[in-house]
Amino acid sequence: MSLIQFDPQSFDLNPREAEAVSEVIFERVFNDSDLAEYHDIETGIDVKTQIAFAGRLGLLGKKAEGCTPSEAGPFTLTQKYWEPVLEDFRLSHCQADMDALFKIFRKAKRINPDFFDMVGSQEFGVIIAAVEQALIENIHRKVWFNDKTAKLVANGGVFKTGTDLDYFNSFNGLFKQIADEVTASKVTLVPISANAGTSYTGQALAADAALGILEKLVTVADDRLVAADDAMILVTRSIADNYRASLRNKNLGSGYMEVVEEGRPKLLFDGIEVKVRYDWDRYIKTYQDNGTKYNLPHRAVFTTKSNIPVGTLSAEDLAKLDVFYDKTLKTNIIDAAYTLDAKHLESYMTVAAY
């Protein structure tokens, strides 16, 4: 079980101290979206749960001749497996840490057996809320950037020196799975030339580059993907910003625009929603930086929600925390444990760009 260290010394209150829990301002997470915005969620997934695929039959029916019907082409079945891993973490601290961190915590009138027990208090809710946000963000990271063979730059990999790879190597995320299928010529790749730059500056996208990238994604895509109701293009912020700049300078028609729906901006390319993954940029810049350039800073994936599902034994586990007080250790503890896996299903329903 991995342990999270809580450092109260990093918080220095101003002379006019906070007086209420409501005055605590949380640093915003990079992606607090529900997983269901991007993925189908499959529950009840256990080790080696089978995913079966039925192949598409070809032409059927020839002119009958004699008593023997004409043979149809073969019907094939293939399979993949869910392989969810069990992950966990613990955050623990004592009441003395809390007092050192916050002067807004309650003042006990006397020492009693519950003096160190903060579970259930409003103040402890600050910590719980922070853990809940971080858990959501970290699951998004794992679903896309995990790699069971992850290596540091010094060892021929792409992860920044000093990165703790145990946070990344529990299962293969979607980028790893898609890249393997690109190598096997199963998924079509749209190369992004700027990614090959040898410096941060050299990796900058040229003006209107995103237009070409998005156009190629759609042009080479299988007709079944283009026609899918839940088709979407996930992109890094770098591609989205480049595309927005083109929209400001060009009149591309009604299918190419940024609209506001329910208070949120929505990007469209040829009528297909372009979802901006701001968290992707952050993970690339934070964890996949070799000191000179980033590892594939511009990325896009054209697919459907149903083609990149996330699997777990119980969806509740992905957001459920076990909060309790250990009287022996005089410590307040937050535990979490969940099973998690992500699967790229049908190769013809994905086009990647990087």
The per-residue pLDDT for range 25-51, each reduced to its tens digit, is: 556 655 667 899 999 999 998 878 888
| Identity of the highest mean pLDDT range in 20-29, 240-249, 254-263 | 240-249
Nearest to 130 by CA among 6, 278, 35, 11: 6
Question: Taking a C-beta distance cutoff of 8 angstroms, is the pair 143, 39 a contact?
Answer: yes
pLDDT at 338 over 80: yes
| Rounded Cα–Cα distance for residues 243 and 258 (Å) | 10
pLDDT at 8 over 60: no
pLDDT at 24 over 60: no
For the residues 319-342, what does the mean pLDDT come to? Answer: 85
Question: What is the model's pLDDT at position 174?
Answer: 98
Cα dihedral value 155, 159, 164, 167, nearest 10: -120
Question: What is the model's pLDDT at position 39?
Answer: 95
Question: What is the model's pLDDT at position 340?
Answer: 94
Order of strands, sheet of 264-269, starting from the edge strand that comes earlier in the sequence: 188-190, 351-353, 300-304, 231-235, 272-276, 264-269, 257-261
Q: How are beta strands 77-82 and 322-326 bridged, if at all?
A: unpaired
Nearest to 7 by CA among 74, 93, 70, 79: 93
pLDDT at 169 over 60: yes
Quick: pLDDT tens for 66-107.
Answer: 887 877 767 677 788 899 999 988 888 776 665 545 544 444
| Rounded Cα–Cα distance for residues 226 and 233 (Å) | 11
pLDDT band of residue 183 (cuts 50, 70, 90) is very high
pLDDT band of residue 252 (cuts 50, 70, 90) is confident
Residue type, 337: A
pLDDT band of residue 187 (cuts 50, 70, 90) is very high
Question: What is the model's pLDDT at position 107?
Answer: 43
pLDDT at 111 over 60: no
Quick: pLDDT tens for 293-323.
Answer: 999 999 999 999 999 999 998 888 887 888 8
> In terms of pLDDT, which residue wins out, 167 or 7?
167
By three-state DSSP, how is residue 289 classified?
strand
By three-state DSSP, how is residue 259 classified?
strand
**Residue 155: both structure tokens together:** 């060892």
Regarding pTM above 0.85, the answer is no
At 207, phi and psi to the nearest 5? -55, 135
Question: What is the model's pLDDT at position 18?
Answer: 47
pLDDT band of residue 184 (cuts 50, 70, 90) is very high
Question: What is the model's pLDDT at position 106?
Answer: 46
> In terms of pLDDT, which residue wins out, 143 or 78?
143
pLDDT at 22 over 90: no
pLDDT at 119 over 70: no
pLDDT at 9 over 50: yes
Which residues make beta-bridge pairs with 324?
333
Angle at 305 between CA 300 and CA 310, to 5 degrees: 100
Question: Taking a C-beta distance cutoff of 8 angstroms, is the pair 192, 210 a contact?
Answer: no
For the residues 263-275, what does the mean pLDDT come to? Answer: 91
Question: What is the model's pLDDT at position 108?
Answer: 40
**Residue 161: both structure tokens together:** 């020196």
Question: What is the model's pLDDT at position 67?
Answer: 82
Residue 185 backbone zone (phi > 0: left; psi -120 to 50: alpha; other: beta): left
Angle at 270 between CA 185 and CA 38, to 5 degrees: 65
> In terms of pLDDT, which residue wins out, 264 or 309?
309
For the residues 199-209, what does the mean pLDDT come to? Answer: 98
